Each structure stands twice: as C-alpha cells, then as structure tokens.
Amino acid sequence: MVNFERTDAPGGTETLLLNVGPQHPSTHGVLHFMLEMAGERVVNAKPVIGYLHRGIEKLAEDRTWQQVMVLTDRQDYVAQFSNEWAYCRAVERLAGIEVPERAEWLRTLMCELNRITSHLIWYAGVTMDIGTLGTPFIYAWETRERIFDFFEAVTGARIMPNWMRIGGVRTDIDAGLLAPMRAFLADDFPKECDVFEALLTGNEIVVSRMKGVGVYTAEECIHLGITGPFLRASGPARDLRRDAPYGAYDKLDFEVCTDDVGDSLARCRVRLRELRESARMCVQLIDRMPEGEIAVKVPRALKPPAGDCYVRTESPRGELGVFVASDGSAKPYRYRVRSPIFYNLSAMPRLLPGHLLADMLVIFGGIDTSMGEIDR
Amino acid sequence: MSAALWVHTVVGLVALLALLAGVTLVGVWWERKFIGHLQRRRGPLHHGWHGLLQLPADMIKMVGKEDTVPAAADRLLFQFGPVAAIVPAYAALVALTFAPGVALVDMSHGLLYVFAFETMLPLAFALIGWSCANKFTLLGGLRAAAQLISYEIPMLLAALGVVLAAQSMGLTTIINAQTGVWYIVKQPLGFAIFSIAMLAEMNRSPFDLPEAESELVAGYMTEYSGMKFGFVQLAEYSVLLVGSYLIAALFLGGWNMPFLPASWLWLALKIVLLMTATMWIRGTFPRLRVDTLTQLSWKWLLPAALLNIMLVAALALALGPKLY
C-alpha cells in the first residue's frame, strides 16, 4: 500500500488522484504514477515501481558465475550489451582475467550499436508521447531493425544475445559483415538522423511543447545522482567512456555531447547528437579492429578469490554500476546493480509538480526509462 | 404533409444515413491505408482487395462486442451519450446541398443550421466524459468543452466573411456565388483561419486533445465498447465529412470547377482531398498542448478573423457587393 498525502488545491477545491499506469499507453512498460491533479495541473507526483520485479539479483546467487550472464540480458532489455558488459567487467576484475584486445573492441562496437538502438527506442517512445500517430516511431523502428540484423548476424539473436563471456565474447564477427555495417553507419545512418531531427527538434509544435519544460539544473542532478544524457543536458560533461575509459574507448576519438539548458528539448538534442556520435565511434572501431583471439580460456567452475568489486560503465541511460561479492565458491555471494534509471526517475516527484498532464508525459518520456532495469 | 413529401423525406434520410455510414467505413479503411503508406507500411492487405473486407469484419466485430457499463457510471446519461452525439451529427447533414438543387432541405439559412448542430457535438462529448465516472473521460470531456470555446468563435467569424461577400447564409447561394472566382482567392486569410479552426472542430491532430491517446488513453470514449463506441466514431466521422464539405463549399467553390461544367463530382473530389489532407496532417504532426491551443485561438485566430471581416467589408463597400 502506497501512502499518498493530499494537499489542498488552490481555491479550496478538491484535488483529483489520477493513476497513470501500470496499464497506460505512455508508461513505457509497467511504471505506475500516482498523480495528484488540480484540473490538468500536477500538484504532486509519486512513481510506484516494482511491477516487473523478477528477483534477478537473488536468482544470481543460485547460479554459477557464467550462468548469471543470461540474466543480465533481461535486466535492461533495451540495452542488453551494456548490462552484459558491466557484469563481465566486474567478474573479470574480481578474478583477475585479462581480456584479449579484439574481444574488447568487439564489445565496444556492439555496445555502441546497442546505444543507437536504445536511443532509437527512446526516440520512438517520446514521439508517441508527444502525440504523433506513430510515423517517427515506425521510422525509428525500421532503422533499429537494420541494426538488429547485424546483432543477429554476429550473435545469433536479435534481442537477447547472451553473447559476452567472462574472458571474452562467444562468437567472432564475420569479416564480410564489416563492410555493409560500415556502409550503413557511415552513409545511411546520418541521413536517417537528419530525418529524426527534422521530425522532433525541427518541428515547431514539438519545440513549443518541450522548451522550458522540466528544467533541472546541474546541481539538482548531481544531488540526486542523476547520470547519463539527463545529466549532460544540464551542463556537466560527465561520461564514463571518457572519464574512466574501459574497452576501446580510450583509443577512440569522440565528443561528449552536452547542452546547457537542461529542459526536455535539451535532453532530446543531447540524445540525437549521441546517435551520430555513436555511429562515428562504430565506424572508427570497424576501421581499426585489431586481429587476434576473441576469448581467453576460463575454467568452467570459475571460483574468483573471496572479495568484492564494483565497476561503473556508461550505459545508454547513465552510470550502470555492478557490485559483485565472492566468497571463493562457484556462485556469486552477492550481485547488485546500480540502475541509472532508478536515480533518474527519482527526479520525477520534483520535476512534475506545476506542469500540465501533457507536459508530464513529455518529461517522463524524455528521461528514457526501462522498467526492467529498475525493478530487476 | 403530402405523400410525395413523405417519400422524399424518408428516402432522403435513409440516403444520408447510408452516406454517413459509407463515408465512415470507407474513411476508416482509407485512413488506415493512407497512413500506412505514409509510414512505409502497407496497411490492411490480407482480406479482400487491399484489405477491403476488413470493413465488414470490423463492423461485425463492433456489433458483436460486449456492451459494458462501468459500475459507477450514471447509467441513464451513459446510455444517452452516443445518442446525444449521433443525433446532431446526423441532423447537420440534412441541410447540405450536394449539387444544384440536390439537398434534403435547401434552406435559406443552411449555414447557420449546420453550425448550430455541429456546435452541439462537443457538449455531447463533455456529457459522455462526465457520465462515465472515469477520470480520463472526465478530463477528455472537459478538454472538448474548452476546445469548443476556443475555436468556435474564430471559425464562425471566418465563415461570416464569406456570408458578407455572398450576402446569404444559404449554401446554394454561397456556392453559386463562386461560379467565377472561389473565395479562397478573395479571402485567403479567412480560409486559413477557417481550416485551422475546422481541424479543431473535427478533433483531428494536431488538435486531438479530447481523445489524446498518449495522455488520456482514449479521452472521453475510453469506457465505451461495442456499438456505443461505433456511434461515437460515426459522429466523429460525420464532423470530418461536414467539416470537409464546409471548407469545400465556403472557400473552394463547391461543385464549381474553372473551365469545366459544374458537377457534384467536383464537390466529392474536393471533400475526399480535404479528408485526406487531415489524415496527412494527422500522420505528421504531434499534438498541441491545451494552453497552446487556447492561446492560438484567442491571441491569433480571433484578431485575425476580425481583421478578415473588416477587410472583406471594406472591399465590398469599395468595389460594390456584386463585383466582390
């Protein structure tokens, strides 16, 4: 039972308690918002989470280190590779495993492609929330599908790849695949980005609805532990890919996209620029992909020495942290995920009051949630 | 009433009902096809020629659905809602003239009559929204009422420009006055205002606030199922039809076509094109916010409509009513 204290509405009238979700066209999964409304204006907002809880962290304690991999895909089903990688890095650091260079490059490549698909899902969602009939939605879906074809060619699966392994990756990329991948990312994708930008930030109605809506300053963001594009749209150029590089990021030339306004429109601009930036990184990765092994031999009954470790990675939504603790056995003693969206979502009760119901969905769509990762 | 008048009335009413049902059914199909192609899809394809058999299937589905009434709803008003929506929508069709002399009732003040009934629709929507005892329908109904107050005035003022120029409120007279030059050429500002306000009257994107799917699930009709939903849909499509008709009749010359003989075909063609244009807009634009719509109406459309009337009146005075 969730407690909800009502405040007095202006003019001595009663407020309305509106439950948006868990079954609602715009809650991106099963988020539940309890909104206290004065007419169309939000007075108080409270997100209710937990509808998608599958107990992934507890399940992990009953599996071997390698078997946990299949669960990480299902944490955030929109950014699968990022979640796999975060777990892999944690275990590899704990067990002291060196990953071959080609594997690191392959992981970086797939992760950046995954960032594009994840941002495309955000794009599809936010354009629906703002009231289009789904034309930009379908366009984004089409592009995402082309990248999924590459995922399928490399890993054998589109959505749940289960591709990374402790010590490397499961399958190598086919040499013949690099050329069409490069052609798509270097030639077609920027053109499609032009279309995406024209339909979102280039549209007068969208700008009128997003400008100055849901402004959040850098201090407030840092205070709440908000990371990712949400934080970068408010000014700070914080990106773990540059600040604490892992994989092949330190060998790539890329820009950390920021904006200084901090409203919903700025968040859109940052993500749209990140789309192009990720494609640029992928092209560099394809051009300079080193040769070599894709995995090192790791004992089937992997037993990392007792201890714990925490790694941070930059998922499409922000700082994805993984904490693993080992008691020296073949199963993790504790597996814990720091979900970036959980922290980003905690800004909602402060951001929403004072805005209209229509704004609420724009702000909420703009933070790019994925309930699977919050509830786990 | 004489027997001939009875026959004329009954046949006319049935024909209008058939027209409305036909436009709704084909309109739904065409909208799905058109927007499908807009989105690089192909729309319904599997049943019949390009999915045409989808229409009877949809109809059977709609009739066969369970008719649910929410427990907390005001039962009487809930049942009455679709009737309140369909009756004015149907009644407005009576005054439309489709070709010279072809109308059920060719009224001398037909425009006034059509507007009077069209205005009653948002009231029915507000009633429906309130009767369902659902917060989403309530918000949708109130939005419909707010929208009515915002766009109705500029729309009527823009139409008044045409009335001034034609010196009549009869639809036949207005259309016949455009045998030479259409009013879109003489009053482009009025046309723009009227079209924008008409889009709002039709509840079409970017003004589909009362049924904003991403915000209010389905707005005022969230709780309706089966044929009740069907009736509300029918009312919506009738506004689309009447709205497109009014734009075509007031500004695009009705059944007139330059250098070609007048025919109802031109009118039908214009209506189809206008309806398709609203679908195109619907497939492209996002929704306006509630306050933006009211601001647009009061701050821009209303002064522009007043300016339009003054311009028309001044020109008519300067050039003489017959010349203008």
- Interchain pair B40, A139: CB under 8 A: yes
Q: Indicate the average pLDDT of chain B.
A: 85
* Cα A292 from Cα A155, distance rounded (Å): 18
- Interchain pair A18, B135: CB under 8 A: yes
Range of the domain at B281: 68-319
* A329 lies within 8 A of chain B by CB: no
Residue B248 and residue B141 in one domain: yes
Number of domains observed in the structure of chain B: 2
* pLDDT tens per residue across span A128-164: 888 887 888 888 988 999 999 999 999 988 888 889 8
Given the structure tokens 């003693």, which residue do they identify?
A: A333
- Asked casually if ipTM beats, i.e. exceeds, 0.85, the reply is no
For strands A168-169 and A164-165, give the pairing: antiparallel
Residue B107 and residue B58 in one domain: no
pLDDT of residue A117: 92
* A124 lies within 8 A of chain B by CB: no
Residue B5 and residue B50 in one domain: yes
A24, A14 Cβ separation under 8 angstroms: no
The DSSP output letter for A130 is: T
A233, A272 Cβ separation under 8 angstroms: no
Percent of chain B with pLDDT over 90: 10
- Asked, for residue B205, whether it belongs to a domain, the answer is yes
* A129 lies within 8 A of chain B by CB: yes
Q: Which residues of B touch A359 (CB under 8 A)?
A: 289
Residue B106 and residue B51 in one domain: no
A374, A342 Cβ separation under 8 angstroms: yes
Could you tell me the pLDDT band of residue B324, with boundaries at 50, 70 and 90? Answer: low
CATH 1.10.645.10 location in chain A: 56-375
| Nearest CA among B101, B33, B94, B16 for reference residue B275 | B33
Which DSSP string do the residues of A43-86 spell out, in sequence order?
A: EEEEEE--TT---HHHHHTTS-TTTTHHHHHHHSTTSHHHHHHH
* pLDDT tens per residue across span B89-99: 888 888 888 87
* A133 lies within 8 A of chain B by CB: yes
How far apart are the CA of B183 and the nearest CA of chain A, in angstroms? 29
* Cα A262 from Cα A277, distance rounded (Å): 20
Residue B119 and residue B167 in one domain: yes
- Interchain pair B287, A361: CB under 8 A: no
Residue B320: count other Cβ atoms within 10 Å of its Cβ: 9
pTM score, whole prediction: 0.84
Q: Which residues of A touch B282 (CB under 8 A)?
A: 133
- Interchain pair B217, A24: CB under 8 A: yes
> A110: exposed, middle or buried (C-beta count within 10 Å: 0-12, 13-18, 19+)?
buried
Which two structure tokens, joined as six digits, stand for B179?
A: 């045998």
Q: Which residues of A touch B215 (CB under 8 A)?
A: 26, 131, 357-358, 361
Nearest residue, CB atoms, A25 vs list B35, B205, B214: B214
Nearest residue, CB atoms, A25 vs list B39, B213, B286: B213
* Cα A341 from Cα A256, distance rounded (Å): 20
Residue A221: count other Cβ atoms within 10 Å of its Cβ: 24
- Interchain pair B40, A138: CB under 8 A: yes
Could you tell me the pLDDT band of residue B247, with boundaries at 50, 70 and 90? Answer: very high
Nearest residue, CB atoms, B39 vs list A26, A134, A206: A134
CA closest to B211 among chain A residues: A131
Q: Which residues of B touch A41 (CB under 8 A)?
A: none
Size of interface A-B (CB pairs under 8 A): 78
Residue B105 and residue B48 in one domain: no
pLDDT of residue B273: 92
Report helix, strand or coil for A133: coil
- Interchain pair B288, A208: CB under 8 A: yes
Given the structure tokens 């010196």, which residue do they identify?
A: B167
- Asked, for residue B324, whether it belongs to a domain, the answer is no
Residue B82 and residue B55 in one domain: no
**Which residues fall within 8 angstroms of residue A16, CB to CB, at 6 or more apart?**
A36, A37, A38, B135
Where among B27, B49, B64 does a domain terminate? B64
Residue B248 and residue B112 in one domain: yes
Which two structure tokens, joined as six digits, stand for A188?
A: 């077609």
* A23 lies within 8 A of chain B by CB: no
- Asked, for residue B141, whether it belongs to a domain, the answer is yes
Please give the average per-residue pLDDT across A246-259, as a whole number.
87
- Asked, for residue B214, whether it belongs to a domain, the answer is yes
Which two structure tokens, joined as six digits, stand for B304?
A: 């522009």
Q: Taken in order B239, B244, B248, B250, is the CA torsion positive or negative?
A: positive
Residue B52 and residue B134 in one domain: no
Could you tell me the pLDDT band of residue A12, with boundaries at 50, 70 and 90? Answer: low
Whether residue A1 is predicted with pLDDT greater than 50 in this model: the reply is no
* B206 lies within 8 A of chain A by CB: yes
Residue B81 and residue B100 in one domain: yes
Residue B59 and residue B77 in one domain: no
* Cα A143 from Cα A188, distance rounded (Å): 10
Residue B1 and residue B20 in one domain: yes
Q: Which fold has domain A56-375?
A: Cytochrome-c3 Hydrogenase; chain B (1.10.645)
* Cα A154 from Cα B54, distance rounded (Å): 40
- Asked, for residue B151, whether it belongs to a domain, the answer is yes
Where among B46, B64, B82 does a domain terminate? B64
A147, A79 Cβ separation under 8 angstroms: no
Q: Which of residues 50-109 of B touch A (CB under 8 A)?
A: none
